[in-house]
Structure 1
Amino acid sequence: QYCGATRPASQLSLDHVVPRSQGGKTTWNNIVSSCLPCNSKKGGRTPSEARMKLLNEPKMPDRNPAMVVSQKDAKYQIWEAFVPTEDVANT
């Protein structure tokens, strides 16, 4: 959401636009995907404080069956708060 580079999911992280250290919440309106270098560069600052441009405003994604997290895959467990799990998607 900051540099526009296309990267595999393994090289992305979730970034709080308004950092938690500044009172930012973990909500769809405050979370964007970010490549690891951009997330590291931004750190605990807002995009404007870090002199970085947010390419797209965060929003709740449309429901998409392709966006289902497997509960068995430990590396994506942090995403479960934002993306439906297999059990939820199959109901």
Structure 2
Amino acid sequence: MDEPGQHKSKSNRASKVGSARLRKTLFQIMTTLLQNAPEDNPVYRFLDKKRVQGKPYYAYMTAAANKFLRIYYGKVKECLRNLEQAE
């Protein structure tokens, strides 16, 4: 039996729950991020770290997309909070 976190698999199924359009858009964003490789971008650094760790393609792309969404959502919330305070 494998220890937690030690399982090695050649392929993992990606979850098909949720919006296919959103998933496609997020993968396009992550692909562009990989092509441009901006070293100062926290999402790129996270994606590259997971890739170097040997994670499967869909695992590191999905993890980076989730990280991107959390950062983006935080920035949107901060912007809305600042707009409310300015009024």
Larger relative contact order (C-alpha < 8 A, sep ≥ 6)?
Answer: 2
TM-score (norm 1): 0.21
TM-score (norm 2): 0.22
> Highest CA radius of gyration, 1 or 2?
2
Judging by fraction of residues, say which structure has more strand: 1
